[in-house]
Chains A and B, each alone.
Chain A
């Protein structure tokens, strides 16, 4: 009887300790699941317009999206066709639990940084923020629309130098592709 009591005590103790250890582990906000549509291997092509923020360019290449850091952030990497191995761009998206919105930071291989917030309506991701390029800050806005079959998406961004007149900034189309065999 005494052995059974000790066993039960230990068993309950283990459950309590395990429950305590598990309780504090944070989980990604469910909002972040909306970013899962970008996970995978994509081919892209499009154009960045020339302007005071930098030279324009026509680009194509590969884009890889994945959830990182326990699913709390999304990481996207552009690798332009024929570009430098270390070139391209990087984007990190997450969830801001203070302001209850999704955030997005992009880093380009000319030093440009984009920082903004994302709101989602159906298959449309609306992006509002700023571009830090060539020592200046420009407001930018854009929309990313994912096709109903989730196999492609189009992103169109606009930029303004004076806060009033918006002009096209860049426009790219992405098509889901099979991962290259390593």
Chain B
């Protein structure tokens, strides 16, 4: 009997402690679920338009996205090719509950960097940001539209050196796929 009481006491104590821990732990804002549509493995193809950041070229590659840090952030790792040059990007997306938008940082394998602010309405996200490349800063904006089945999306971006005159930058199609089996 005494053993049962001790066991029950420990059980209740453990449950109470676990519940307290859960109650104190902050939870990701529900708005972050809007980013979950990008979780998974994607392939993309498209083109970089000729402009201030270089000549036009074909763009291909793949990206993997997953939530990190308890679901408070989304991380994507992109590996692709622009013309014949390798392109590696680490992307991190979060949420700003005051402005109700999504700040994002892209870190490139050539030292470039892009800082974005996304607003998401339905299946369309509107991006505005700054792209720092080779010691120069450019303004960028893009629009990403997800297909109704959430399995593909189109991306169109523009770049500007002065914030007034905008020229096409990237146009890409992304398709959700299963990752290639490792050999």
B28 and A111 form a contact (CB under 8 A):
yes
- Confirm or deny: A28 has a beta carbon within 8 angstroms of a beta carbon on chain B: yes
Which chain A residues in 20-78 approach chain B with CB under 8 Å?
26, 28-29, 54-55, 68-70, 72-73, 75
Residues of B within 8 A of A172 (CB): none
B69 adjacent to A105 (CB under 8 Å) = no
Which size bracket describes the interface of A in this complex?
20 to 34
Q: How far apart are the CA atoms of A50 and B71 in the complex, in Å?
A: 22
- One of A84, A89, A92 near B90 (C-beta < 8 A): A92
Give the contacting residue for A90; candidates B24, B68, B96, B132; CB below 8 A: B68
**Number of B interface residues, CB 8 Å?**
33
Contacting residues, chain A, for B70 (C-beta < 8 A): 84, 86-87, 109-110
The answer to whether A132 and B90 have CB atoms under 8 Å apart is: no
The dominant DSSP class at the B interface is: mixed
CB contact under 8 A between A86 and B134, given known A69-B107, A111-B26: no
A29: chain B residues at CB < 8 Å are 111
> Which of B109-133 touch A at CB < 8 Å?
109-111, 113, 132
Query: Would you call A108 an interface residue if the criterion is a C-beta within 8 Å of the partner chain's C-beta atoms?
Result: yes
| Contact present for A113 and B103 (CB under 8 Å) | yes
Asked if A142 CB lies within 8 Å of chain B CBs, one says: no
B96 contacts which chain A residues (CB < 8 A)? 132, 135
- Out of B25, B29, B107, name the residue touching A94 (CB < 8 Å): B107
Q: Which of B69, B105, B109 has the most CB of A within 10 A?
A: B69
- The reply to whether the CB of A97 lies closer than 8 angstroms to some CB of chain B is yes
Judged by a CB distance under 8 angstroms, whether B136 is at the interface is: yes
Can you sample 17 A-B contacts with CB below 8 Å? A26-B110, A26-B111, A29-B111, A55-B24, A68-B107, A70-B110, A70-B111, A87-B70, A89-B69, A90-B68, A92-B90, A92-B105, A110-B70, A111-B28, A111-B72, A111-B95, A135-B97
A residues lining the B interface (CB < 8 Å):
26, 28-29, 54-55, 68-70, 72-73, 75, 84, 86-90, 92, 94-98, 103, 105, 107-111, 113, 132, 135-136
